């Protein structure tokens, strides 16, 4: 990296501070650039795939480095920072651009979906129940639902008369609550672990909506990484075989930029409901700002569904923020 006209000798305290600031900016820039490139080849190795999840953070760090380089008149380094910033901007910015919407020709039914990974060790039951009552969704999807959570959520069954719970320890539990009539609930098994998933056929007034919720493994170890990919693959096969309209909802433990997420979307033909509403990061919720979080909770919808609004809910004591999606579903 170039330090321009800064001289290493005969400099005072201010000069040394400038040199240190520039070297730190340049070193950080190299690391961010390498991670940005590594994210594009995530299929090569588990650790390379992990680098794909932090595009927003890379963009912000590259922007800070650019400002430092400009302030210090390090123009070659500033140019390098611009290049690194653009690499990430090109995959972040499209999520803020609203998709082109075709006129709604057929009768439509409004459907509101709330999905929340409540975290199995979370004990903030009353606050979450209050949140659900405030939002008043048509479909409520719960992940990491253990016996204690299912027991506390029984107070919602009058509000959601159609429900199915699969309480499990260790973060495997799932539950789906519906105000709309459910034709049937099916339990599906994913991957070599036979991880549970839920499939519901929901009557939305003018037709039937297929809803699938899954919670693949967190890919932090090699075997968990492989299991997550198996579970995403099987979920895609299940969704692909369903008639439209359809949804795939839940904590998928993958971000918008993972090659495995991209394959899931291609295979199912679904699109992410957050398109046009921004990144809406959801994890980890204990971070002081959403700019430091990543989007791993998703609502994927079939093309004929029109998403009116997607947003994240308030902190419910979990390590995830809930997602809230308002949509209209064709009959």
pLDDT of residue 236: 97
Mean pLDDT of 100-113: 78
- Measured at the alpha carbon of residue 112, what is the angle toward residues 281 and 101, in degrees to the nearest 5? 75
Centre a 10 Å sphere on the Cβ of residue 45 and count the other Cβ atoms it contains.
Answer: 13
DSSP 198: E
**What are the tens digits of pLDDT across the range 230-239?**
999 999 999 9
Non-local CB neighbours of 282 within 8 Å, separated by 6+ positions? 251, 293, 294, 295, 296, 297, 312, 320, 321, 322, 323
In whole numbers, what is the pLDDT of the chain averaged over residues?
A: 93
Contact present, 243 and 210 (Cβ < 8 Å): yes
Instruction: State how far the Cα of 163 lies from the Cα of 302, in Å rounded to an integer.
Output: 23
pLDDT for residue 138:
97
Contact 141, 175 (CB under 8 A): yes
At 277 the pLDDT is 97
Q: 174-184: per-residue pLDDT in tens?
A: 999 999 999 99
Rounding to the nearest 10 degrees, give the CA dihedral for residues 290, 117, 218, 151.
Answer: 150
Q: What is the pTM of this model?
A: 0.92
In 3D space, the residue among 262, 264, 259 whose CA is nearest the CA of residue 248 turns out to be: 264
Q: Is the pLDDT of residue 10 over 60?
A: no
pLDDT at residue 15 tops 90: no
Task: Answer yes or no: is pLDDT of 166 > 50.
Answer: yes
Say what the pLDDT of residue 287 is: 95
SS3 for 312?
strand
Is cis: bond before 284, omega within 30 of 0?
yes
Nearest to 247 by CA among 114, 93, 101: 114
| Least confident interval from 5-14, 104-113, 134-143, 193-202 | 5-14
Q: For the chain, what percent of residues have pLDDT higher than 70?
A: 95
Domains of the chain: 13-95 (no CATH), 100-330 (3.60.10.10)
Residues across the chain: 331
Give Cα 26 distance to the centre of its chain: 31
**Which one is predicted more confidently, 145 or 13?**
145
- Kindly compute the dihedral angle of the four CA atoms of residues 212, 218, 219, 225, in this order, to the nearest 10 degrees: -50
Buried-exposed string 172-205: b where 16+ CB fall within 10 A, e elsewhere:
bbbbbbbbbebeebeebebbebebbbbbbbbebe
Per-residue pLDDT, averaged over 110-118, amounts to 97
Burial of 105 (0-12, 13-18, 19+ CB in 10 A): exposed
Q: Tokens representing 73?
A: 């008149």
pLDDT at 2 over 50: no
User: What is the tens place of the pLDDT at every residue in 264-291?
Assistant: 999 999 999 999 999 999 999 999 999 9
Residue 293: per-residue pLDDT: 98
The per-residue pLDDT for 18 is 85
pLDDT band at 331 (very low <50, low <70, confident <90, very high): confident
- With 0-12 CB in 10 A as exposed, 13-18 as middle and 19+ as buried, what is 290? middle
3-state secondary structure of 59: helix
1: pLDDT strictly greater than 50: no
Task: Report the C-alpha gap between 237 and 184 in whole angstroms.
Answer: 19
Q: What is the DSSP string of 216-270?
A: PPP-SSHHHHHHHHHHHHHHHHHHHTSPSSEEEEEE-S--TT-HHHHHHHHHH--
Confidence of residue 96 (pLDDT cuts 50, 70, 90): very high
Give the tens place of pLDDT for each residue, 20-63.
988 999 999 999 999 999 999 999 999 999 999 999 999 999 99
- pLDDT > 90? residue 11: no
């Amino acid at each position: 990296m170039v330090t321009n006209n800064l001289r290493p000798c005969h400099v005072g305290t201010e000069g040394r501070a400038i040199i240190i600031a520039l070297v730190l900016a340049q070193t950080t820039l190299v690391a961010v650039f390498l991670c940005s490139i590594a994210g594009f080849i995530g299929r090569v190795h588990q650790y390379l795939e992990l680098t794909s999840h932090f595009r927003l953070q890379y963009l912000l760090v590259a922007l800070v480095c650019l400002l430092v380089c400009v302030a210090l008149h390090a123009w070659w380094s500033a140019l390098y920072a611009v290049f690194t910033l653009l690499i990430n901007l090109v995959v972040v910015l499209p999520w803020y651009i609203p998709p082109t919407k075709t006129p709604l020709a057929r009768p439509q039914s409004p459907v509101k979906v709330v999905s929340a990974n409540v975290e199995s060790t979370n004990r903030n039951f009353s606050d979450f129940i209050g949140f659900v009552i405030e939002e008043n969704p048509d479909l409520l999807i719960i992940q990491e639902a253990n016996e204690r959570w299912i027991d506390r959520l029984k107070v919602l069954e009058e509000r959601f008369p159609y429900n199915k719970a699969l309480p499990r320890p260790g973060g495997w539990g799932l539950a789906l609550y519906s105000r709309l009539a459910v034709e049937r609930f099916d339990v599906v098994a994913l991957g070599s672990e036979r991880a549970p998933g839920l499939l519901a056929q929901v009557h939305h007034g003018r037709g039937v909506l297929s809803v699938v919720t899954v919670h693949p493994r967190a890919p932090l170890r090699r075997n968990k990484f492989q299991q997550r990919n198996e579970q995403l693959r099987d979920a895609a096969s299940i969704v692909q075989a369903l008639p439209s309209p359809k949804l795939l909802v839940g904590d998928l433990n993958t971000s918008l930029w993972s090659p495995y997420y991209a394959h899931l979307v291609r295979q199912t033909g679904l699109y992410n409901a957050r398109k046009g509403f921004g990144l809406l990061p959801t994890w980890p919720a204990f971070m002081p700002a959403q700019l430091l979080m990543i989007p791993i909770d998703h609502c994927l919808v079939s093309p004929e569904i029109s998403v009116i609004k997607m947003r994240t809910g308030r902190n419910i004591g979990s390590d995830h923020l809930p997602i809230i999606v308002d949509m209209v579903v064709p009959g």
